[in-house]
């Protein structure tokens, strides 16, 4: 257990990921305002992107482009491009989700006059 504590403090970016993720999840679950729920969802998404970026870093690695075919290729010398591609895709999808969510919040506000979840549910009943 003590070793796990020391491992966490040697990589503070993982501790930051967990804190931001739990903070965003807490906001999504406990708040009744729809905009605040969107902010919590954005924090969760940002923490996952931060986790992917921090997980994909590698000291001394180079881009996975072969300059000549005569030398032997060592996979450990190259950075994996997949996490970076997934991060870019997650950013684009997250921006689209935020845009659609804000548009839905605007439509809900126009129809019900409130963004409070409890007031909207009362008007639906």
Q: Per-residue pLDDT tens for 29-62?
A: 999 999 999 999 999 999 999 888 888 777 877 7
Select from 64, 69, 105 the least CA-distant residue to 84. 64
pLDDT at 1 over 70: no
Cβ neighbours of residue 20 closer than 8 Å, sequence gap 6 or more: 43, 44, 46, 47, 50
- Residue 102 is predicted with a pLDDT of 96
In a domain, 70, yes or no: no
Question: What is the pLDDT averaged over residues 10-37?
Answer: 91
CB–CB of 24/98 below 8 Å?
no
In a domain, 29, yes or no: yes
pLDDT at 72 over 90: no
End-to-end CA distance of the chain: 51
pLDDT at 64 over 80: no
Q: How many distinct structural domains can be found in the chain?
A: 1
Least confident of 66-75, 84-93, 102-111: 66-75
CATH of the domain at 20: 1.10.287.3510
Structural domain that includes position 39? 2-57+79-124
Question: What is the pLDDT averaged over residues 76-88?
Answer: 83
In a domain, 19, yes or no: yes
CB–CB of 42/21 below 8 Å?
no
- Residue 66 is predicted with a pLDDT of 75
Q: What is the pTM of this model?
A: 0.79
In a domain, 91, yes or no: yes
In a domain, 68, yes or no: no
Residues of the chain with pLDDT > 90, as a percent, come to: 52
In a domain, 71, yes or no: no
In a domain, 66, yes or no: no
């Amino acid at each position: 257990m003590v070793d796990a504590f020391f491992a966490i403090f040697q990589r503070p970016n993982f501790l930051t990921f967990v804190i931001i993720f739990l903070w965003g999840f807490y906001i999504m679950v406990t708040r009744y305002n729809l905009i605040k729920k969107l902010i919590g969802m954005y924090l969760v998404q940002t923490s996952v992107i931060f986790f992917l970026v921090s997980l994909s870093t590698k000291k001394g690695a180079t881009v996975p482009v072969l300059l000549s075919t005569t030398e032997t290729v060592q996979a450990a010398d190259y950075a994996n491009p997949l996490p970076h591609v997934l991060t870019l895709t997650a950013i684009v999808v997250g921006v689209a989700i935020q845009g659609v969510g804000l548009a839905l919040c605007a439509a809900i506000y126009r129809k019900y006059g409130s963004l409070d979840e409890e007031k909207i549910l009362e008007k639906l009943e």
